[in-house]
Amino acid sequence: MQNVQLYIYVDDAEGVPVAHRIELFNDEKISVTSSVQNFNDIGKLFTDYSQSFTIPASKHNNSVLRHWYESAVGETDLDLPQNVIGAFDHRIKYFGFIEIDTIPFRDGKFTMDKANKKNGFIESYTINFVGNLVQLKDKFKEDKLNSLKNSNGLSYYNELNFEYSSYEISQKLLGYGSYDVMFPLIGNTRRFEYQTGNIDNDITLLSGAIEYTELFPAIKISKIFEYIQSAYGLNFTGEFLNSQTFSKLYLYCKNSDEMSTKTELVQSNLEYGSTGLPLPNNTLTINFVPFYNFIGPPTNLDPVWSQKVYFFITTASTNYNVYIYNNGTLYTSFLNQSGNISYRSFFYRVGPFSDTYNFTIFVNSDELTTFTFETDLMVEFVQQNTGYTNSYALYTPTPTTSLALLNVQKFIPDITVNDFITGLVKMFNMVIIPTSETEFEFLPLELWYQNGNEINITEFVEAENIEIAKPNLFKKLDFKHEKSDNILNTNFRDFNDNQEYGNLFYDNENSAFTTNYEVKTPFEDIMYERTTGTDFLTATCWNKDRQPYTPKPVLLYDNNRVSFYPTTANYYWLKDTPSGLDFHLPAYQRFSNEIELGASDLNYLQTLNWGVENSVWNLDIAPNGLYQQFYSNYINNLYNQRTRVVKAKAHFNTNLLTSINLNDRIILSNKRYLINTMTTDLTTGEVNLELINDFRDITENTTYLRYANIMVMQVDNTAQKVEFIIYRNNYDTFNVVASGGFLTYPLSSDNDVDIIIEVTIPANTSGIERSDSLALQYYLNGVETEIKIPVVQYA
């Protein structure tokens, strides 16, 4: 029998969390189930949970749980321990952990189910334990991605705002620097053409120049992840998040049919007329008596007075809007104004009254130019039945200036944080591993399995209690994105028997199974087009009627700068009609739904398509769709004719109970298995296992035990740089050592986590094919394994 300890944090001692040990019944069975199932739902990923179990209502437990059974016990009860503040709250989850023989087993959250009464006395409590991952869904709730705010209530996206001018857009198009906000060359009201001679659409002609206000922005996904972490107090880890597959991914922010923006709201700087003193926070406070005291009220308050507030706008802009807020909430607005506004009342009350109004005035312009304005205010008091009127003016001594800032937050697509992260988890078949209450590691499933160990449990298994069954498979597998209304996607669908571009499905009519399995993301996969014989690639957000449309959230890759040097005839035009500026640009930042991870080696061209499609840029097959790269090993192993599900009962000692993980590969009677589910009785060490055969081959051509994301590379003779992710696998450490050939890369020693290195391949001017390798040294228990990743460069 193992000695099981449960600890729960319910209070602080001088600001330090205190872990209280829970007393247990001697014969209580505590069973925890761990499962790799449902990995497409971040609320169920690797969540350790237990069946509800009971604990005694002992004096100690009553103290820790604060006599929860008694609803009268509240926050001010004095019979609680000194460091216990408030009642135990069944509405929340309390952080805690489980130990077996003082060795840590699992971290998670405890919840209260009920108190059990017998013979007039509280005999026990029923509590539940859940793993840390459930709190992600709890935290995200139904929050929208565009609503992420800091502790001051300000949008995190504000730091991305920039002066919205043709010059700034031209710099982002050229790719001068690394920007979190970029502008893909994607047409909306028209199709961008290149060297076609069409005077309206050929962007190499001044007549067909791109108006800088035509383009929608795109935000780097890793930046959005940064904001999510800050907003919810989380920390996302994993070298995959730093790889090009993830770090060069952008979210296209097109949330309307056509680009439309205004200058940012600018608040009036109000000052009191007779003294010139600024009003607090530029806010006009209206409260009948206090306000009278402020400006010097009439001596006679009877009969009742009424108050009116007027404003007067002088502006150098037409087509502007006035927004008046009360206590931070929009009170009224005056839209589509033109020229000056004479005194106009926006507030009328008969006093005295007890409510307090705090008015602030904001103005913005429909024009994407700088504008100035000044605001005059007048407060009028009228004494009823006497006709006595008194007015007090408030004004701004100097005009206020508004810059044309692009408010990035306004363009974020309408999607929840939960759906956004779940979509990425589905795309890259990631598992989310809670390493603490607030820290979560993101790993593609196959990499997670690579980091596990091989554990032989044959001696612990009851050989006479093994059941062998077939796996529960699906008749149809369907991997898809959101249906696209894009004109090219529609044509593709029409010519391919209603098959959506980029989707993948497998339907076995002779299958013995009847259920279907679907993996669907909330993203749209639009088609791109490359102008024949040129380096120009674009897309157009048109529907089948050649009208602008608003797509579902679109993900795209930044493929770096494409230059049109040295001939200026190949340059394209960007224009700024209001200011009369024209920019003749020699390069653009190429975006598409694919990225060249292996430089010119197309075997490592990664796309956002589920299946195998033609690469529009390379005019060749792109073999690595999302399914091939992130799902095929798992699914192929599951559908292997030899695969069986083995159910076995075992008895583990404490060391094995506390060290075995779901990504460990199990050796049972000389066969290798993956753990599907594992239910453990913590008190007896009895474990019920559901295992699936693991037929992955240990070769360089499979994902299993790959040492890098690229295992063999063949490139052309041009100079190039390639990013390698080096995996630790289940070794203790590894070194990156010199190869002695033409490759150059940073060397490092004693790496105990996955790392990313950039390998430089110089141009091959020798006229003959040459080869080199990326050299690695792995260590396990002091034993070295030398690994070389070949790089072949053609003449």
Entry pTM: 0.81
Nearest CA to 534 out of 572, 504, 580, 484 is that of 572
What pLDDT does 384 receive?
Answer: 61
Nearest CA to 689 out of 460, 388, 391, 392 is that of 460
What pLDDT does 306 receive?
Answer: 73
Q: Supply 107's token pair.
A: 């971290």
Span 74-107, pLDDT tens digits: 554 444 444 444 568 888 888 888 999 889 888 8
What pLDDT does 577 receive?
Answer: 86
State mean pLDDT over 652-671.
91
- Cβ-based neighbours of 14, under 8 Å, separated by 6 or more: none
Checking if the pLDDT of 613 tops 50, the result is: yes
Cα distance between residue 157 and residue 148, in whole Å? 8
> Is there a contact between 531 and 192 (Cβ–Cβ < 8 Å)?
no
Three-state SS annotation for 695-719 = CCCCCCCCCCCCCECCCCEEECCCC
Question: What percentage of the chain exceeds 70 in pLDDT?
Answer: 86
Q: Higher pLDDT residue, 123 or 516?
A: 123
Q: Supply 571's token pair.
A: 């340059």
Q: Supply 459's token pair.
A: 């001696």
Return mean pLDDT, the chain.
Answer: 85
- Cβ-based neighbours of 135, under 8 Å, separated by 6 or more: 93, 109, 437
Checking if the pLDDT of 383 tops 90, the result is: no
Amino acid (1-letter code) at residue 38:
N
Please state at what angle helix 221-232 crosses helix 417-427, rounded to 10 degrees: 130
| Neighbour-count burial of 598, counting CB atoms closer than 10 A to its CB (0-12 exposed, 13-18 middle, 19+ buried) | buried
> Is there a contact between 592 and 555 (Cβ–Cβ < 8 Å)?
no
Question: What percentage of the chain exceeds 90 in pLDDT?
Answer: 48
**Half-sphere exposure of residue 411: CA atoms within 13 angstroms, side-chain side:** 26
Checking if the pLDDT of 40 tops 50, the result is: no
> Is there a contact between 667 and 456 (Cβ–Cβ < 8 Å)?
yes
What pLDDT does 73 receive?
Answer: 57
Checking if the pLDDT of 336 tops 90, the result is: no
What pLDDT does 105 receive?
Answer: 87
Span 470-523, pLDDT tens digits: 888 888 889 999 999 999 999 999 999 899 999 998 887 767 777 888 899 999
What pLDDT does 701 receive?
Answer: 41
Cα distance between residue 644 and residue 638, in whole Å? 9
The one-character DSSP state at 429 is T
- Cβ-based neighbours of 303, under 8 Å, separated by 6 or more: 383, 384, 385, 386
Q: Higher pLDDT residue, 793 or 264?
A: 793
Q: Higher pLDDT residue, 9 or 510?
A: 9
The one-character DSSP state at 34 is E
What pLDDT does 465 receive?
Answer: 86
Q: Which domains does the chain have, with CATH numbers?
A: 4-35+47-134 (no CATH), 145-261+411-429+534-591 (no CATH), 266-402 (2.60.120), 713-793 (2.60.40.10)
Checking if the pLDDT of 401 tops 80, the result is: no
For residue 477, the tally of other CB atoms under 10 A from its CB is 19
Amino acid (1-letter code) at residue 259:
M
Looking at 132-136, 467-471, 499-503, 748-752, which range is the least confident one? 132-136
> Is there a contact between 36 and 675 (Cβ–Cβ < 8 Å)?
yes
Checking if the pLDDT of 67 tops 50, the result is: yes
Nearest CA to 607 out of 591, 629, 620, 625 is that of 625
> Is there a contact between 181 and 159 (Cβ–Cβ < 8 Å)?
no
Q: Supply 532's token pair.
A: 């024949």
Which residue bears the tokens 């999607």?
Answer: 415
Measured between alpha carbons, how far is residue 86 from residues 9, 21, 94, 128 in Å? 13, 19, 14, 21
> Is there a contact between 647 and 666 (Cβ–Cβ < 8 Å)?
no
Buried b (16+ CB within 10 A) or exposed e, 721-739: ebbbbbbbbbbeebbbeeb
The residues facing 589 across adjacent strands are 561
